[in-house]
Every structure is written in structure tokens, then in C-alpha cells.
Amino acid sequence: MAKEANKYYPEVLSCERKLSPSDGKFFGCVWEARHSEKEEDTAVPLTLNEKTVRSTISNYKNPADSNADAKEILKPNLQRIDSCMLPSDKDTLKMEFTLKLFSGVERNCSCNMEAFDTRYRDWVRSCIDDDHILHELSLRYAKNIANGRFLWRNRLGADELEITVDVPTMDRHFTFNGYDYSVNHFGSEENTAELQSLASLMEDVLSGDAEGNEKHVILSVTTYAKVGKGQEVFPSQEMVLDDGKTGRSKEEKRGKKSRYLYSVFGTAAMHSQKIGNAIRTIDTWYDGSVAALPIAVESYGTVTTRSVAHRNKRNDFYSLFKKALVDGKELTETEKDFVIAMLLRGGVFGAKES
């Protein structure tokens, strides 16, 4: 950003995230006994297993590449990988995590421009006082909890899917059939009384109050997915940035593990980042109307698995944020929804000179 533009936009600006999930730990249990308090029915922690597989070479080969000859293709593809399975006597994946919600989105964490800071607080507070915005966002967050989106691949093919949410400090309990709620749209026809009750609780905490008093709450989320006895389940896969392969021969490289899965103190788990990504997959406003599929709330609407940035035509976060707080122009309702969702997500939003 040019130096002239920086006169109106801070170089230092950051916001703390207001929805903070923990890692999700994996357990195995029996569906019919999932709520039993008997010791013999206790869910068992799932561990990672390493195995060696002999498969074939099936990746794309350029026909013009000399390596595509028959000898190369016929070589066995030896791999060492991590895997995670339910025990042979357990048919249900149980995943547990907590989600902590905070109020105070109108107070950024740091800002080096006093005038902008004041505009920020006033503008965000006006958005919070608008009954629609946090109501809509909370409904969408609640739905992504109720539908079990955070299970990712583990959600597919499950015969039964149950999500429970406990709020111990408020003595509240919610139970959802995950398949009653779509992962593809946020239509009001699925807004059951149970879902609206959870969303109302979340909205109340995220809104805080006009006096600026802090609010927070911890949701304990437990999910049961009946996937079948002994079936494979899918914790997060680790991205290995440096596995020591550089400079090694082909023979040495073949001895390295090609898939690493995530665990917490020996128990298979889902990354907190992946759970958070699922809960904030609420952006259906990126194409100017109502998009066919929601994407995660990101500054530029980036979906790395598709190599697409949906928000790169002046509808990205920074363009909308500056439009409201620097140019003083009015945003549409859905633009405000997106900007507030980004501030709830948190991040470093300052603009250093370039």
C-alpha cells in the first residue's frame, strides 16, 4: 500500500479471534452404548498405527518424459504411512472438543492510529447493535456445529450422526441429528427450535453489552458417527515441511514415511485449525448474491484445494473494510456480515508501506 493511503489506514492493526476451538480427540465406542455410564462401555482413545504398503505407481506421467517407460511404471510403490482404525468391537467414532466464545469484537487488540481506532469501535458497535448481523452469523456457526461439518471426511458414509453440546456454566444441553441440517446452504427451513436456542446463546455472548463488560462461554461438543466396526477414521494429516529428504538418494527417500497423522498425547486428533475452518464455513455472499456452496471466511475468499480466490474483485475484506472505515461509505447487509465474520475470525490486518 502506498504511503499516501497509509495516512488513513493503520500500519498496526490486529484483532483476537472470538471463536477459539480446541483440538478434537478421537475415541471408539459402540453406538447403542454411547451414553452408557457402565465402565465396560467406556469409549477408548484411538491411536495411530504405522503400516507399510506395496502399491503400484499410478501418478500422472508425461508421455514425453523418458521416466514413463514400462520399467519405471512396473516398479512397486513402497510406502510407510500412518493410519487410524476403530477397534473390531467398536462401530462409532466419538470426537470431543471445546469451543470458547468471547465478546469484545468492537475492541481491536492493537492499532497505531487513534482516529481510526475510534471509527473502528463506533462502526463495529453499530453493526453489533443491528439485530440482524450477529443473529445471522450465530445461526450459521450453530448450524455448522449441529451438522457436524467439522468431522470432514469422517462425516461421509456414517449410518448415524449425533452431535451434543453442553454448556456447564449455564446448565444447558443441546442434541442434534447431524443429518437434519445441510452443509450446503443456510435456509431458514432448517432452523429448528434447538438450533435457534444454541444460536441465541452464542449471539448473546458474542454481542457483549453496550457497557463493554466481557462475556465468554465454553461449549463442550461431542460427536458420534456410526461408521462401522473396525473401519478407518481420519484424523488431521500433518504437513511435514522438512522431513530430511533433501539431498538423499532415491533408496534413502523410499524408507521415509509418506503420511503423518496428528495425535495429542498419543490419542488421534483433529487440528483445532481444521475445526475452526469448518465452523466458519459460512460465506455464501462472495459472488454478489447467494452462492451455491459456502466457503470459509477468508480475506480473499481463498479455497486452496481449488486454487481459487473468490473475493478478488473489490469484494475482498480489505476493500470493504476501507470502504466503510476510510471512505465512510455504506456497506450492504451481506458485506457487513462478511466483514464482521472476518473480525470475529481475527488476524493481523495492518497495512505496511510497500
DSSP tag of 261: B
Q: 0.85 exceeded by the pTM?
A: yes
pLDDT at position 65 is: 67
Tens digits of per-residue pLDDT, 94-138? 999 999 999 999 999 999 999 999 999 999 999 999 889 999 999
String of b and e for 165-204 (b: at least 16 CB within 10 Å)?
bbbeeeeeebebebeebebeebeeeeeeebbbebbebbbb
Determine contact, residues 293/270, Cβ cutoff 8 Å.
no
pLDDT at position 342 is: 98
pLDDT at position 243 is: 54
Q: Pick out the chain residues at pLDDT < 70.
A: 1-6, 64-69, 210, 212, 242-255, 289-290, 353-354
d(CA 164, CA 96): 10
Q: What is the grid cell recorded at 254?
A: 523410499
d(CA 205, CA 219): 12
246 residue type, one letter: T
- Look at strands 92-102 and 160-167 and give their pairing: unpaired
Beta bridge pairs of residue 348: 14
d(CA 34, CA 30): 6
Q: What totals of helices (H) and strands (E) does the chain contain, helices first?
A: 8, 17
What is 131-163 written as a DSSP string? HHHHHHHHHHHHHHHHTTGGGGGGGTT-SEEEE
Query: Phi and psi dihedrals of 268, rounded to 5?
Result: -55, 145
Determine contact, residues 14/108, Cβ cutoff 8 Å.
yes
Q: How far is CA 152 from CA 114, 236, 274, in A?
A: 42, 10, 9
pLDDT at position 245 is: 54
Helix (H, G, I), strand (E, B) or coil at 58: coil
pLDDT at position 15 is: 96
